[in-house]
Structures are given as structure tokens and as C-alpha cells.
Structure 1
Amino acid sequence: MPELLFSLDSAKRFTDQEKVGHNRWHPDIPPVATVRPGQSFRVHCREWFDGAIHNDDSAEDIRDAPLTRVHALSGPFAVEGAEPGDLLMVDILDMGPIPQESGPLAGQGWGYTGIFPTGNGGGFLTEQFPDAYKAVWDFSGRKATSRHIPGVSFTGIAHPGLMGTAPSASLLATWNRREGALIATAPDRVPPLALPPEPQDAILGRLTGADFDRVAAEAARTAPPRENGGNQDIKNFTVGSRVFYPVYVPGANLSLGDLHFSQGDGEITFCGAIEMGGFVDLHVDLIKNGMQTYGVAENAIFIPGDTPPQFSRWLAFSGISVTLDGEQRYLDSQLAYQRACLHAIDYLTRFGYQPEQAYLLLGAAPIEGRLSGVVDIPNSCATVYLPTEIFDFDIRPSASGPTRIDPGSGAPKATMS
């Protein structure tokens, strides 16, 4: 096993650990450890809400999830000799849930998927699904099943939803400027267009006093992907992946977290993956002056992992860029993907699933989302591929009609706050 450089005690909160990570991006957050090019090491990760979501049959915790706390990131890890302009090469050697533990933390044998309410983040289909719902998933090896979504079982593609290098001061200022300008176009929008710096609940490693206050006021939230990588939520970014990150600060300062046991393309419910804590084994190296050599001045490139589940049969749904009200949009691929997902959800209800169960399933199962046509004006076409092998029954259309399943008690719904 590689050397463990960032350890988490499951009995303690993220902020009470021997080494404390962070939940904001800023160049002045000090590293928790320094590694050498060519070194392999192990990192423990806490699920993104640090234990705020529970293994129960209620969704009040999803409704009230404390978004100012996320994400609980492990790191930063400085890399000896890394300088701005280099490319940091990171290999994901291994990862999984919290090893050999069962208990109340996500990752201890279980994980969760949530539909976030519109007032607390929303999701890809928040106009159709404005309320909070939750599904809890049990792990058996690499398989996931849920008492809240019966009739399905699938192999997960475990991956870190979030990994990236620290921004430079100038890049951080660019983020805050452009996202602030976007927020100003509709400052009262729910959910908001972007998340500005928020000192409340900021976790900044070992910073204290005036340094803490200054960084907390400037640091960027970790919710979106940006030039440094960040919260990209790429389901194929799994074991066997090699990623090349731009380096913006001396040492690169690599951080990671937001582990997922499984996820569909798009993580469409916002908390759309099966969230968990666990471990990741990494290997790092450097390509000196790699940003200029390969033209990777922003946004990481990566070689996908070699451990996807081997599905061979799919049922695909398509959508076009026309709203539910019949309004024509010009080559709106996002809208087309929304319509494809809604078609899949409506189809699954014909078998007995509640719409919310189907929506949660599309977020958690390893569906394939594709932009299938982006040039044929005025309609984009997007498709969502649903692996038929994950179901205990045949979901393909037939002359005999759909099999009706017992949806059980359904996905827990939170009462309105």
C-alpha cells in the first residue's frame, strides 16, 4: 500500500482531524504535505457534506444540506519542483469506499443520491422536480442496490468528482470577476447563477487569524469546474486514469475529494452521484513547461480509466431543443439533453416507478449522455443511453406491454421547510 499522507478518523469531524483539509480555492492555503515527482501515496477523503446526510428514510437532511460547507477536500499536496507553466501528471492507481468499515458515514458500506430542492441548489431538472428526495444505496463489492429504488443492481464506476490544482492570485481574481458579473445580471435568482466567495463555514487548512479572514473573503467556492480542474464530475475519471493539470502556483498544490461510488453522465440531480467517503491512491509526476509544449494553458486533459463496467445492451432516448411549452430554441444542446432525460423518466414510470425514483436512478446509474447532433439548425439532438442489464426485468418495448413492478415505499421526500 502506498504511504498514507492524509488520514481521516471516521469518529471525528473533518475539521477535528490531525491534518485539516479545505473547502475553498485560494493560492495561499498551505499544503498538508509535500510529495516528490515519481511518488505514490494514499489519501483519505470525506464525502462532500462531512456526514450531514444520513442512512435513513427521510429527505430532510437533503432539504437542509449545508451548501456553504462543501466540498470537504483532502490536501493541498505540494509537488517538489513544480512551477507555473508545468503540467502535473496524476495517475489514479486505486480507490474505493472507506475500507472494512460499516457505520453512519457515507462510504461505510453505503452511499446516497439526492434531488436538491430549487431553493437549495436545484438540479438539472429543477423546474420539473423542485422538492427534496433521497435514495440510499448499499454496497456489496462493486455492486449497488437501493431499498428506495427496487428492481435495479449495477456495478459502480468509482471516481473522484473533484480534483484540481490551486489557482494563481490572478486566476482567482478572474474567476471572482466574471462570476460576479454573471450574478449581477439576476442577483435574486433561485437557484443563483453562481456562488460568490462566502466566509461562513470556510475551511482553510491551518490558516488562522488575519490570514484566515483575508483568504476566506477572497477564496472561490468549489462547486463548479474551472480552468484548474475542480468539480468536473466525470464518471470515467476512474482507476487507471491519467490526468494532466495546468500548474499555476509553485508546488501545484493538488487537492481532491467528492468521491462517487457511481454516477450517470451529467450528475443530473446535482447530488446525482452515489456520494461516499473513501480512499484514493495517486502517483504524481511533472512535465516541465508542459503547458506551453502541449498548449494546455487551461482545463485539464486526461486519459480515461480502464475499469468501466462492461454493459453491452442499451435503450437510448433522444431529445431536441424544443421546450416543454413548444418554444423552438436554436441548437440548445443543454435543453436537448434535458428533454432526453425527461423522456427516459416518463418511460420508466410506465413500469411502476415514481418519477422521482427514475430521476434519482438516472443520476446514480452509469448512463451514457451524448451530444448526437449539434449542426442541424434549429434543433440540437442529445441522447441518453440506459443500460438495460441493470434491471431485474425487461424494460424494452414489446407487444405484451410493460412489466409492472412494485415501487416499494418510494424515495423519501422532505416536507416543505
Structure 2
Amino acid sequence: MVQNRQGKLADWFEGLKRQVARSRVFLRFGLIAVLAATTLGLVAIRSEAQTPIMVPSTTDHVIWGELFKPDSEPIMRVSSGDVIQMETISHEVILPDQGNTVDFLTKAGIKASDILSDQLAVKARVPKSGPGPHVITGPVYVEGAEPGDVLEVKTLQLDYRVPYGVISNRHGKGSLPNEYPQGDAQIYTKVIPLDTAREVGIFRPENDLPDLEIPLYPFMGIMGVVPADPEETVNSVPPGAYGGNIDIKHLTAGSSLYLPVQVPGALFYSGDPHCAQGNGEVALTAIECSLTPTFELTVHKDMSLNGPVGETPESWLAIGLDEDLDEAMKASVREYLRIVNDQYGLTKPDALLYASAAIDFEVSQVVDIVKGIHGVIPKAAFAPLDK
């Protein structure tokens, strides 16, 4: 489980309650509380004490390389407000350019007994039906969700499934596609052992330098609803108004992603689990690792969105997506202006000036065909305007 990174639990909980009190969207939709559950000193964020509905990553519950389509048969139906625990599988270590999965991992020091059997089953029995690399679990039909509604995907908890992850750079991909990997290499890939007790990944340099430690900050790279246009489902890589592969590292435990529902039932899915990612994701991948996220799925009838919006206890995330990074930046700034105007009443001209002095716009990723920018809007900064 994800450890508490915000100091003492009491201080963290009181701060979270203050943030909830300030958040008009939470008040608007009647969210009662966010509870903290502790087990053996580890902290998981839960909004209700209910038993999650299990969604296992069996071969009949996943697809590989594409997104689910509007006519995809749901693997289960849930009600608005239900909590699901959805197993997800990393595509890294099962792609053809990494060779034999067991050999690849054991040569890097991973015990054969620690290799996720679900990964091996997917490699052996699930056809790769699209050009994307991702293995995606779903879809889940949410009762009452209709086009025009908004599905809130609240990440309550993230559990590690295996003690390893992988970072990869491939020829023709990443932020420097014509420069790396070096020489004639088609792939440069590295297994990252995970010390989940200390919440770090071990990065071992190739030239015998001392190991480096990467703090783990797990999140789901792909969370989405099925797009209405089947043409948008053929590749799992590009994100869109439906969410999908948005790769925003802030969307960890305690965060919410709001998605405009495109088809009846929303048909929610998730995949591309990450243990840590730097903004930009410049090599091509984050630390790709298999996770079990716990989600709360809530349908909002009185919200209207044109694209995804993120929220953490501390901030709003104004998401801009476009194949052109400049256009993604414009989209993110426009979304920031909308959020601040809607939530706090600040005029858009004033909000633009304020942003120039006080708002950070971060590059989510530049490697997924459609690039992403997210503006981080601190709620505390606008507290004097919150009604």
C-alpha cells in the first residue's frame, strides 16, 4: 500500500478535511468524508468502509494494444458510488523485443517465483489486437451513466503486485527518437527492483557506478471511459477527451479524475500502471509495474465537461491534450481559466495575469502521440475567493 508521505496522520487528515471544506465541487455533490485507514503502519485512502468489488486481470478481462469499443461487452456492472479493486498488468517484460520474460527478469536478479503469472498468461494467450503496448482491464458498466454525464474516478488505494518494474527507451520513440537508443540498438531497457517497504526503486547504472534510488509514487497511467467514436479506440497510446493514457503523475491515491461519459454505462477501464514517473516521461516509459488500484466510481448528473479534469486534495489539474505541444499548452491554459472562473469567480483576464505569476504548467508526457500539459491549481491560493 502507499505510505503516508504527509507527516503525522492526524495533521494530514485535518488538512484534508480543510481542503474538502474548501472544495465547492465536493460540497456540490455531497461527498461526506474521506477516511484514512491504517494497517501495520501503512496508509490507504478510502472514502467509505465498504468491501471492494474484485475485478481480476484474467485473460478474459483484458485486451492488448487497443481500447474497448462502444459495443464491448462489460465484464461486470456496478452502481454509482461502488468501490472496485481492479487488477492491472504491466506490458513491459512481455513485449517481443524483451525476449523470454522469465530469462529477462531472472538475469536482472528477480526470483522466478516473484514473476506475475498474469503477465505470462497474457503473453501466452491474449492476442495483441492493436498497435499500442498496453494491457487494459475492463470494461466496467456503471449503472445510470449516460452521455453528457461525468464519471468521477477516485483512486482510493494502490497496491503493488510484484517487486519489479521496467524503464525502456525504444528506437524511433521517446523525446529524442533519432538519438537514443545509441548506435543500432532497437531498445535499451532496465529492470528496476522495488523495495516497497522503503518505497524506492533501485536504478543500477550500466557502468558500475553506485546504485541510485527512485522514490516510488504509484499511479495509473490509463484511466478512461469508452469513446463514442470507434476510430478513437484502435490504439491504446493516444489520450483524448475520454481520458485514456494521460500519464499524469499527480493522479495517485486520494486523487479524482473526472471524465465526460461518451457511451451508456461509461464502460470504465484502466491499465498502464506506473510506480514512478518524471514529468515528460522523456525516455518513453515510466517505471512500468503491475498494480492493483482501488477505485470509487461515481456518476455526476449535474456536471458537464468536454475533457478530463483532475483533482487532488491540494490542487485542481487543468489538462490540455494535443499532438502539438504548443496547442496542448493553450488547451491547458484555457481549461485553467475555466476552472478558476467557475470555481472561484475570478474573471478570465485576471486569472490569466494571476497564472503568469503563480501557476505552474507541467508537461505530463511527450511520448504518446497526443502530448499533455497539466496546470496545477493550488486550492489554498484561492481560499479567499471560495464561497
Q: TM-score, normalised by structure 1?
A: 0.52
- 8 Å CA contact 1:261–1:275 kept in 2: the answer is yes
Is residue 2:63 matched to residue 1:6? no
Is residue 2:303 matched to residue 1:290? yes
- 8 Å CA contact 1:163–1:257 kept in 2: the answer is yes
C-alpha distance 124-305 of structure 1, shift in aligned 2 (>3 A): farther
Offset, 1:48: 2.5
Is residue 2:46 matched to residue 1:46? no
C-alpha distance 227-50 of structure 1, shift in aligned 2 (>3 A): farther
Amino acid at match of 2:188: Y
- Three-state SS of the structure 1 residue aligned to 2:166 is strand
Amino acid at match of 1:113: I
Map of 2:138 onto structure 1:
75
C-alpha distance 56-305 of structure 1, shift in aligned 2 (>3 A): farther
Amino acid at match of 2:204: R
C-alpha distance 87-115 of structure 1, shift in aligned 2 (>3 A): same
More strand by share: 2
C-alpha distance 29-70 of structure 1, shift in aligned 2 (>3 A): farther
1:8-407 matched pairs, under 5 angstroms: 8=57, 15=59, 17=60, 19-21=61-63, 23-25=65-67, 26-49=69-92, 51-52=94-95, 53=98, 54-55=104-105, 68=131, 70-98=133-161, 108-118=162-172, 122-130=173-181, 131=185, 132-141=187-196, 142-148=199-205, 150-168=210-228, 171-173=229-231, 175=232, 219-271=233-285, 273-291=286-304, 296-297=305-306, 299-304=307-312, 370=362
Alpha-carbon distance in 2 for matches of 1:257, 1:154 = 22
Alpha-carbon distance in 2 for matches of 1:249, 1:238 = 26
- Three-state SS of the structure 1 residue aligned to 2:237 is coil
Amino acid at match of 2:283: T
Map of 1:352 onto structure 2:
none
Alpha-carbon distance in 2 for matches of 1:305, 1:166 = 27
Offset, 1:154: 2.7
C-alpha distance 135-305 of structure 1, shift in aligned 2 (>3 A): farther
More helix by share: 2
RMSD over aligned Cα, in angstroms?
A: 2.9
Alignment deviations for residues 192-236 of structure 1 (CA, whole Å, 9 cap, x no partner): xxxxxxxxxxxxxxxxxxxxxxxxxxx421111111011111111
C-alpha distance 305-139 of structure 1, shift in aligned 2 (>3 A): farther
- 8 Å CA contact 2:204–2:212 kept in 1: the answer is no
Structure 2 unaligned regions, length at least 5: 1-49, 99-103, 109-127, 316-324, 329-359, 364-372, 374-387
Percent identity of equivalent pairs: 26
Offset, 1:4: 4.1
- 8 Å CA contact 1:244–1:302 kept in 2: the answer is yes
Amino acid at match of 2:148: G
- 8 Å CA contact 2:52–2:294 kept in 1: the answer is no
Offset, 1:147: 2.7
- 8 Å CA contact 1:82–1:251 kept in 2: the answer is yes
- 8 Å CA contact 2:92–2:166 kept in 1: the answer is no
Alpha-carbon distance in 1 for matches of 2:157, 2:91 = 19
- 8 Å CA contact 2:62–2:136 kept in 1: the answer is no
Offset, 1:278: 1.8
- Three-state SS of the structure 2 residue aligned to 1:55 is helix
Alignment deviations for residues 83-136 of structure 1 (CA, whole Å, 9 cap, x no partner): 0000001110001320xxxxxxxxx20111011112xxx111112214321121
Offset, 1:2: 3.6
Alpha-carbon distance in 2 for matches of 1:370, 1:278 = 25
- 8 Å CA contact 2:225–2:261 kept in 1: the answer is yes
- 8 Å CA contact 1:48–1:257 kept in 2: the answer is no
Alpha-carbon distance in 2 for matches of 1:230, 1:138 = 27
Amino acid at match of 2:270: L
Offset, 1:21: 4.5
- 8 Å CA contact 1:31–1:253 kept in 2: the answer is yes
Amino acid at match of 1:136: V
Alignment deviations for residues 254-280 of structure 1 (CA, whole Å, 9 cap, x no partner): 100100000111111112x00111200
C-alpha distance 5-332 of structure 1, shift in aligned 2 (>3 A): closer
Alpha-carbon distance in 1 for matches of 2:302, 2:52 = 28
Offset, 1:283: 0.5
- 8 Å CA contact 1:265–1:369 kept in 2: the answer is no
- 8 Å CA contact 1:3–1:40 kept in 2: the answer is yes
Alpha-carbon distance in 1 for matches of 2:256, 2:362 = 22
- 8 Å CA contact 2:147–2:261 kept in 1: the answer is yes
Structure 1 unaligned regions, length at least 5: 9-13, 59-65, 99-107, 176-218, 308-330, 335-367, 372-381, 383-417
- 8 Å CA contact 2:132–2:235 kept in 1: the answer is no
Alpha-carbon distance in 2 for matches of 1:133, 1:81 = 46
